[in-house]
Chains A and B, each alone.
Chain A
Amino acid sequence: MNLTLHVWRQRSADEPGRMERYLAEDIEPEMSFLEMLDVVNEGLIAQGLEPIAFDHDCREGICGTCSQVINGEAHGPLANSTVCQLHMRQFRDGDEIYIEPWRARAFPVLKDLVVDRSALDRLIQANGYVSVSTGGVPDAHAVPIPKINAETAMDAAECIGCGACVAACPNSSAMLFVAAKVGHLASLPQGRVEAAHRVCAMTEAMQREGFGGCGNHYECEAACPKGISVKFIAQLNREYLKALPGKILGK
């Protein structure tokens, strides 16, 4: 199949970028989207041109590195999928495809389709973890956890930190990312200890990093390659309400 691509090209963080047009020829339907870009890039290199820079690592949908907005949808048209797991059979011969980076103030473009997502790392550093004093490994059954809580925690822990929720949100909010972490840890006894501090610290960090606020539009859930539910944002709001009295009393 032959396709027309419109790709965001930007040489560096401080230069303005623009959309450029490329032809992708002789593409096989069983290629992944990234393999299609590899083919285009080989062509560009052969012509002595700068290849299109894009992020990728595992190419099996688990690392959360690939990050492209394809035809206006974060990770493209296939639901519950990353770009690397999107295949060209989802497109038709002659299609025009628009490829853009994640767009958010908190995710500055470094080059072409590559953005700096270290803001998400700093959200995790704002107590998006459980502080454990390491000692001997405890017995697996030492802390009983109800099955339902374990399931909830696992659903939230599916987050691969790709940032599609931010890219899809009309407000560039990272609320689903933060909520997944808060929900994951608050559902487990080990995480409860710091639950109140965590929800305050992470949401404050979100504001500091320049992410927008949640408008309850739920675009994040639709874009999430792991299908993480916005019910975790409701849980985050409950956790915040629980933490609020302590926060006001200055604890």
Chain B
Amino acid sequence: MFHPTLFRNPVVRKLLMAFSGLLLAGFIVAHLLGNLTVFLGPNGINAYAHHLKQLGPLLWVFRGGLLAAAGIHVSFGLLLTLENRRARPMAYYRNKPQRSTLAGRTMIYSGLCLAAFAGFHLLHFTLRLLGPEITPWLDALQRPDVFSMLVIHFRLAGFVLVYILGMGALYFHLSHGLGSMLQTFGLNNARTLPWFGLLSSLIAALLAAGFAAIPALIFFGFITVQGGAA
């Protein structure tokens, strides 16, 4: 069935990166759409959090899939980076890149920043181990009071900074990653080639800006406990 040489094939490895990257990016889009309910006030995002919790076992299926995708992406990302470096044991004295981008050449660093950010984010909002405690945790309708948590935590410059930097890494990673993924899936041709790079940067910018808008708007007082309360 799966011959051992299969996973040594450079195209297979690249396809695994692209497919796991696609799953992660799909999660990012869904996550952003969910987050945007913060603009509807507590009734938006608290209700969203409540419904997520009610998915029960299904939520764990999603989380398991996501974890598997992340595991594949990170392990093959590290492996490919090490192998690709080994393929050029000696660097050029002079090297003048023509077409590659800084974002493309630093995928491993933006990727590792994203992994660090994801760890921080889980400790922060999923496990609620960082920042001021929110009591009571449930709102008047017995839903998790995510709204208050966001509005209180994102008044703190340190948190805002970490989230904005994290989204910078996301922009960087996806500005190369999305276009690269389309090429890996073989969806590119002479006509689409000049556009995929641009499209990739544009979507990456929209996603990163969408996420970053939340801490930024809260920090600058556009979303407040009073103003947001519906």
Contact = CB atoms under 8 A, between A and B. Distances in A.
Interface of A: 6, 8, 19, 69, 71-73, 98, 100, 103-106, 168, 170-173, 175, 199-200, 203-204, 206-207, 210-219, 221-223, 229-231, 233-238, 240-241, 244, 247-250
B37 interface: no
Which of B6, B88, B105, B184 has the most C-beta atoms of chain A within 10 angstroms of its own C-beta?
Answer: B88
B95 interface: yes
B23 interface: no
A103 B179 contact: no
Most buried by A among B10, B86, B104: B10
B174 to A, nearest CB: 13
B96 A207 contact: no
Contacts of B176: 216
A175 B188 CA distance: 15
A210 B11 contact: no
A222 B101 CA distance: 13
Interface in B90-117: 90-101, 104-105, 107
A213 B100 CA distance: 15
Contacts of A249: 1
Contacts of A241: 15, 185-186
A8 B92 CA distance: 10
Contacts of B188: 230-231, 234
Contacts of B13: 213
Contacts of A19: 93
Q: Please tell me the size bucket of the interface on B.
A: 35 or more
A234 B190 CA distance: 10
A188 to B, nearest CB: 18
B189 A222 contact: no
A216 B183 contact: yes
A187 to B, nearest CB: 13
Contacts of A98: 93-94
26 contacts: A103-B90, A104-B88, A172-B84, A203-B10, A204-B9, A212-B86, A213-B10, A213-B83, A215-B80, A215-B84, A217-B105, A218-B99, A219-B100, A222-B99, A229-B190, A230-B183, A230-B188, A231-B188, A231-B193, A234-B188, A237-B183, A237-B186, A240-B15, A244-B12, A247-B6, A250-B1
Contacts of A222: 98-99
B73 to A, nearest CB: 15
Contacts of B93: 6, 8, 19, 98, 100
Given A218-B99, A234-B183, A235-B186, 12 more contacts: A71-B96, A103-B91, A170-B97, A171-B87, A172-B88, A175-B10, A212-B83, A215-B107, A215-B180, A237-B184, A248-B2, A249-B1
A168 B6 CA distance: 27
B5 interface: yes
A247 B12 CA distance: 11
Contacts of A168: 98
A185 B91 CA distance: 34
Contact of B89 (A72, A105, A200): A105
Contacts of B95: 72
